[in-house]
Structure 1
Amino acid sequence: MAKKGVKNNKQAKRKENRAKEEAALQKLEQLIEEYDPKTQKPSQFQELPISQNLIQGLKEASYSLLTDIQREAIPYALKGNDILGAAKTGSGKTLAFLIPVIEKLNRAKWTDFDGLGALIISPTRELAMQIYEVLLKIGKHFQLSVGLVIGGKDVKFEMERIQKINILIGTPGRILQHMDQSLGFDVSNLQMLVLDEADRILDLGFKKTLDNIVANLPPERQTLLFSATQSKSVSDLARLSLTNPQYIGVKQAEDETATPDSLSQSYITVKLEDKLDTLYSFIKTHLKTKIIVFLSTSKQVHFVYETFRKLQPGMSLMKLHGRQKQTARTETVYKFTKAQHVCLFATDVVARGLDFPTVDWVVQVDAPEDADTYVHRVGRSARAGKSGKALLMLTPSEEEGFLKRLQSKKIEPKKLNIKQNKKKSIKQQLQALCFKDAELKYLGQKAFISYLRSIIINKDKDVFKIEDVDKEAFAKALGLPSAPQVKIKGESKARELKNVSRQLLALSKANDDGEFKEEDKKVRTKYDRMFERQNQNVLSSHYLKIQNDALKDENDDESDSDGEFMSVKRTDHDLVNEDLPDLTAPTSKRAAKRALSKKASLNDKGNAKKLVFDDEGNAHQIYEFQDEDDFKAAGDAKLQKDDFIGKESEVMQVDDESDKKLAKEKKLEKKRKRKEAERLAKEGYNDDPSERDLDAKSDDNSEDERPTKKPKWFQNDKVGGKTSKDDGVLEIEEPETLEDLEALTARLIQD
């Protein structure tokens, strides 16, 4: 009875808790319905119509005050409206969409059995990881499962768990991959779609991927778009199926800029070939700061990082770009976040949304592709009201055009002048490094090529002009002896291939039947790829010359082709018919015998001459007479004779010493054998054939004494000196052959 009473008490408590939860949710729904975003302007999170569990999570994560974008966007999102939000970098956009996501699923009483409820898409892996970490902090008091799917992680591990996820955060490519390959990934019940850095996701690089993702999502959903810079393009919004979206933070005051007020912005005019000198000098004079250096391409980041490491400016250096493995990228983000005095070389993969604490300087060595990218780059500093500085390097040809682009965003950086006494040139050091290290030279060549291609594929031709680039001066600034030859693809083609998947590119080569062309069916090995590359290192042209010579020889003589990619280059010799041997068959037996006789051949043609061939394929005798002029030029004949005799005497002396040493060793060995034979004779082992004197065995005049064969049982009645018949018992060996068996039978019959 006691157990039954306890059970009833537990059920009662459960019912009571459920009733409280239902009442709290109903009250929350009522508060949201009564909330007026236009009139109510809360300053703290606890003043919003959100659940107590979320307020507690925000408090424990040290979030208390609302930012402008949060104050404007969260109430509309809680009411179920689609949001198109834009705000300055570092203004708290992450919480502006995470809070509505959690509250949406909480009010719907979402469980693991309901499947995926919210999908958050980020353009970069690092930003997706950051959103994931923030969500875990503020939502730890809710029974919601959260998943992160990004490139570089184990796909099979994600596939096994993705069907149990309520909130999924990921990059566009990996999300689409799971939609195509994961069997348990069901998005039919999706309640909310969030796009962070929406302008980047909506651009050319992710257009097709995003269209495929949205095509799989249900149209009855809530959509939130957030970014620091945003457009109201009708075509972009139509793709996302936004219905009457609320524009939050899009309109700005006339004198308000898109960058934080606490950010100090400046620029300098510097030639392209002097940028690395300026950057190195800047780092040397700011050793006690935290710096992010932006470059256009990953090849440039790799080259600058490796060369500056060898130059050792005096502070820790890091690199981060999209071609690194995910483990290295994650480790770099973690170390840079924790470090105080460090310089990070990075591409625009770092420019979006990442929250690095206390970044003092943002240095843009290469100008960004547009003003929006500039806003995102400088937004890594001066976050959440803190101060920061930004420096932009512009070439003389870029200065006027790019400053106009910034003025359209109400951004007017101050121009600074470089102090020449603080500037240090590293051109000669870079040239010395590239001369000593072929790998660095290769990286410099790739950096040179990638920068030129980034200029060509840029859309803004009024700012970025390839004809204004001094290629030779830029190559020398990178430490290269000369400018590498660059083959630039078509402008539109290069822009399309910039972000396209390799798998999609391979499929695009197939015809309508899914079959590839003959030239595409050929399997390309690593050697094929090696020879197809250009400007790899100092031996690139040499490798290609070897390959061309090998192919030429193969075409000249197909019968000698064994499928090798290198062959010996042969020299054609002039043949004289008189010198050729007579290859006709002998007509008589005497002639045949004479032809096969070496002695007769030598009598006819003289002694054979041994020839050697030089590198050019010319034949020479081993001993040739020296030319008379060369002999006279070498000096007096007597001195040459004495010199030759002296050298030969030294050689003979060395050979005599080695011969004497060898003769002495043989004499000692013979003496040792003789002593050993005397010892054996003294001990009485002469009668044993197995222990005879070793000299006797090696003597040519002595006869070999072989051990006598053991007689068969039927050849001798005595075995081992004993009679085989003793006391009527016949002792025999086991017969081994048929003859032995027949002899044994006859013996037994006779006995």
Structure 2
Amino acid sequence: MAAPGITGRTRPTKVKKQAAQLKRKRDDVDVDALEQAVAALDPATGAFSDFSQLPLSGPTKQGLRHGHFAAMTAIQRKAVPLALKGHDLLGAAKTGSGKTLAFIVPVLENLYRLQHVGADAGLGALILAPTRELAIQIFHVLCKIGRHGHMFAAGLLIGGKSLDAERHALARMNILVATPGRMLQHLSQTAAFSVDDLKMLVLDEADRILDMGFQRDVDAIIDYLPKERQTLLFSATQSKKVSDLARLSLHDPAYVSVHAEDKSATPTSLQQNYLICPVQDKLDTLWSFIQASKKSKILCFFSSAKVVRFVYESFRHMQPGIPLLHIHGRQKQGARLDTTAKFSAAKNSCLFATDVAARGLDFPAVDFVIQVDCPDDVDTYIHRVGRTARYNREGRGVLFLTPSEEEGMLQRLEAKKVPVEAINVRQKKRQSIKDQLQNMCFQDPALKYLGQKAFMTYVKSVYLQKDKEVFKLKEYDLEAYAASLGLPGTPRIKFLQGDESKQKKQASRQTIEVSESDEEEETPREAKPVRTKYDRMFERRNQDVLADHYKKLVRDGDDHVPTPANDFTGESTANGADDDFLAVKRRIPADDEDEDFGGDASVAPRGRVIHVAGVSQPLIIDSNRREKLLLSKKKLTKLMDKGKRIVYDDEGNPHELYELQDEADFKAKGLPEVQRQKFIEAAREVVQSADVEDKAAAKAKRKEKLRKRKERERGDGAVEEDAGVELEETGENPLANFLADAQITDDEEEEQEEKAKQKKEKKWFQSDSEDDERSSKKQKRKANQHVVQEPETLEDMEALAAGLLG
């Protein structure tokens, strides 16, 4: 028997494995005590100010201590005890109040007490976030708290990563942080992924996840989850709709709101202002603000990704003296992560972003949040401005409002307890960048195209807004806004011109017919020409920055070309053309190479006229280049008239190869069907007569061939004496010919021809040398064979026996 403490291992046990074994044993002992402490916990009467006062496990306390989390915030004091007891929660608190820690601690503790650890346990907790950046941030906080002793396997499911790598790891995950889209993709496509044993579901930024953008995905995910579970909802603006709560199958949820009675829905350390800025002055105001705040950390929000890209590219070329960054939903995941990391680590920087960075992201020490484009609603405003003044720090938010947006937006902010104060811009410090933007768009067509897209997406975002009392598109000066972006003209917006067509499409046929009949009675309708896509392509304007200049310099068709008299006298043309300082006297078209010699017959020639043999039209030589091209045989060959192929009849008269008959002569012969029948009968008679002649000639040829063969068999001049028939002078025997004809029939002739065919012909791969070799081998084989003759006498028999023995 081995001594105590001695094992059969040849290598010493690692310290980490010993610690893990002791930890598992300690966990088994501590579970009962934790269950009793949580059961005795009274969230209603207990006043908790520190995490150490809660019945938490050792690994969680150690993780909180290493993360420097000691005192609890208001939302954490009310939400964590209820979540530890297993209640469903609706948590609402201001931005930057510590909501993330309020659900991560209950998730770790509840799974710890249930011993939901290991690959065989399956998925125990699911945390959903609306954006990838927020999901990554939650996952980092989860790892920061849980890596000091907890043995849970946690994973992150977001778009932009390898789907196969996530599939292999899903089977052993205990806690998942995911976005709704990628989570639903794995639930529907990954066969080994099971959520039947899920214990907790957490929705961060629940109001955003439950709205129309994620409604289908969330409903599909909930159908996969078990009904018996604990659900936690947290957001800065919580939803209390009965329909939303019914969708999530909440059981007697507890509503926790720590700032419901406050005078403001935003942090008190946040200073909020707004300024009235027309849409065409937004970029000038933003540039002036950045120039005055180069040593600050600024976050600017826009309505669309195209606007973010255009502002970033244009401001980057003008070098404002502060690092510029941009983030939007159309970027790849790696670029978005790099941008958030750079902005978090920077001391002085300016980040242009869409609403993808408006929720949940914790950027440290943000000084200003500038909302250049008006938010969709007050909730979006609260989340945007919440990126600053976090954790009782100071911050400032500035909202740009157009004159048409001022009244409606201020009423909605006041109704949600959001205090804002009006400020003005100092005109002395304001700088205009319209000329610089126009110059950059002139030099860079790509930037101009990006500006056109930014204009269209901004107008579309305003057009699609639900709150029409705030967003009144008809009151925006779109032409001035396009000019402020540096564009030479206002891009065409299709959906703005389609209001009447949309009304006609939705109207009934009767109303359309009545309206059309009324219009016909009032004014006669003119037929509209059909316009193809090529017509629209050539009529398109703003194709480049020189579109207007090009139209003045180049005139096509019947447009009036200014004459010298008009240029000097300053008289206007009949078409209403403007009197320009520079006018074109003559325009020489750049013709193709094939048109170098010829021209329009209707235009009077301006040079020498040369007639070339073989060319029907004369050649106009009006330049030295065309005169040199006369020396090219290749060019002259292309201009030559194409010849006609002719044939000659029996009389020697030339005719074209395919010549049509005169129509009058053809009709005089009768109807086409009658002529066709006559032609068929004549052709049939010719064929029949030719067939009879061919058969007779073939029979005569066959008989002559048989006669010659019989003569060769009988021998030349051999005649029997007993026949008593005298030969004629021609040397033929009539009796012999008669007998041969009588005895040999056509059948015998065919048999002879078949025998001749049966003779083997040489194959394609055989040669004469092979036949010679084969014949020589046969002769040698015959020579080597012993010819045995029958013995006649006794001597012959003895000779034969001696040959065989010897």
Identify whether the pair has TM-score above 0.5, normalized to the shorter chain.
yes
1:673-717 alpha-carbon deviations (Å, 9 max, x no partner)? xxxxxxxxxxxxxxxxxxxxxxxxxxxxxxxxxxxxxxxxxxxxx
- Please state whether the residue corresponding to 1:392 is helix, strand or coil: strand
Match of 1:68 in 2: 74
In 2: Cα distance, 1:247 partner to 1:276 partner: 43
Match of 1:331 in 2: 338
Match of 1:203 in 2: 211
Match of 1:149 in 2: 157
Match of 2:245 in 1: 237
Match of 1:6 in 2: 6
Query: Do the aligned residues in 2 keep the contact of 1:442 with 1:535 (CA within 8 Å)?
Result: no
Q: 2:178 matched to 1:170?
A: yes
Distance 1:4 1:540, change over 3 A: farther
- Please state whether the residue corresponding to 1:113 is helix, strand or coil: coil
1:571-630 alpha-carbon deviations (Å, 9 max, x no partner)? 999999xxxxxxxxxxxxxxxxxxxxxxxxxxxx9852679xxxxxxx772535x9xxxx
Match of 2:701 in 1: none
Aligned match for 1:107, one of 106, 113, 119? 113
Match of 2:64 in 1: 58
Superposed displacement of residue 488, structure 1? 2.1
Match of 2:482 in 1: 475
Superposed displacement of residue 50, structure 1? 1.0
Query: Do the aligned residues in 1 keep the contact of 2:488 with 2:542 (CA within 8 Å)?
Result: no
Q: 2:613 matched to 1:608?
A: yes
Distance 1:31 1:535, change over 3 A: farther
In 2: Cα distance, 1:326 partner to 1:18 partner: 38
Aligned match for 1:96, one of 77, 95, 102? 102
Q: Which runs of 5+ in 2 are unaligned?
A: 503-532, 549-591, 603-609, 629-766, 777-806
- Please state whether the residue corresponding to 1:205 is helix, strand or coil: coil
Aligned match for 1:263, one of 257, 267, 270? 270
Counterpart mapping for 1:271-670 below 5 A:
271-488=278-495, 538=544, 607-608=612-613, 621=619, 623=621
Distance 1:340 1:606, change over 3 A: closer
Superposed displacement of residue 5, structure 1? 5.1
Superposed displacement of residue 24, structure 1? 1.5
Superposed displacement of residue 383, structure 1? 0.5
Query: Do the aligned residues in 2 keep the contact of 1:441 with 1:537 (CA within 8 Å)?
Result: no
In 1: Cα distance, 2:593 partner to 2:769 partner: 69
1:532-570 alpha-carbon deviations (Å, 9 max, x no partner)? 9x999539999xxxxxxxxxxxxxxxxxxxxxxxxx999
Q: Which runs of 5+ in 1 are unaligned?
A: 495-526, 543-567, 577-604, 612-618, 627-643, 649-736, 747-751
Query: Do the aligned residues in 2 keep the contact of 1:269 with 1:395 (CA within 8 Å)?
Result: yes
Q: TM-score, normalised by structure 1?
A: 0.67
- Please state whether the residue corresponding to 1:389 is helix, strand or coil: strand
- Please state whether the residue corresponding to 1:179 is helix, strand or coil: helix
Superposed displacement of residue 231, structure 1? 2.0
1:627-666 alpha-carbon deviations (Å, 9 max, x no partner)? xxxxxxxxxxxxxxxxx9xxx9xxxxxxxxxxxxxxxxxx
Identity of aligned residues (%): 50
The CA RMSD over aligned residues, in Å, is 3.7
Query: Do the aligned residues in 1 keep the contact of 2:299 with 2:368 (CA within 8 Å)?
Result: yes
Amino acid paired to 1:446: K
In 2: Cα distance, 1:387 partner to 1:351 partner: 18
1:22-42 alpha-carbon deviations (Å, 9 max, x no partner)? 332111111111111122222
Superposed displacement of residue 459, structure 1? 1.1
In 2: Cα distance, 1:161 partner to 1:535 partner: 55
In 1: Cα distance, 2:185 partner to 2:541 partner: 36
Query: Do the aligned residues in 2 keep the contact of 1:116 with 1:189 (CA within 8 Å)?
Result: yes
Match of 1:252 in 2: 260
Query: Do the aligned residues in 2 keep the contact of 1:439 with 1:537 (CA within 8 Å)?
Result: no
In 2: Cα distance, 1:101 partner to 1:345 partner: 35
- How many residues are treated as equivalent by the alignment? 540
In 1: Cα distance, 2:21 partner to 2:188 partner: 43
1:194-229 alpha-carbon deviations (Å, 9 max, x no partner)? 000000001110011110011110000000000000
In 2: Cα distance, 1:573 partner to 1:48 partner: 97
In 2: Cα distance, 1:387 partner to 1:213 partner: 39
- Please state whether the residue corresponding to 1:391 is helix, strand or coil: strand
Match of 2:802 in 1: none
Superposed displacement of residue 18, structure 1? 5.8
In 2: Cα distance, 1:295 partner to 1:174 partner: 26
1:453-497 alpha-carbon deviations (Å, 9 max, x no partner)? 111111111100111111100100111111111122899xx9xxx
Match of 2:166 in 1: 158
Query: Do the aligned residues in 2 keep the contact of 1:430 with 1:479 (CA within 8 Å)?
Result: yes
Q: 2:33 matched to 1:35?
A: no
In 2: Cα distance, 1:267 partner to 1:29 partner: 52
Superposed displacement of residue 159, structure 1? 1.2
Amino acid paired to 1:476: A
Distance 1:299 1:3, change over 3 A: farther
Amino acid paired to 1:166: N
Distance 1:152 1:63, change over 3 A: same
Query: Do the aligned residues in 1 keep the contact of 2:611 with 2:618 (CA within 8 Å)?
Result: no
1:248-307 alpha-carbon deviations (Å, 9 max, x no partner)? 116611x52111111111111111000000000000000000000000111100110000
Amino acid paired to 2:218: L
Aligned match for 2:199, one of 191, 204, 227? 191
Query: Do the aligned residues in 2 keep the contact of 1:442 with 1:536 (CA within 8 Å)?
Result: no
Distance 1:180 1:610, change over 3 A: same
Superposed displacement of residue 2, structure 1? 2.8
Match of 2:511 in 1: none
Distance 1:610 1:308, change over 3 A: farther
Match of 1:707 in 2: none
In 2: Cα distance, 1:256 partner to 1:245 partner: 26
Distance 1:234 1:531, change over 3 A: farther
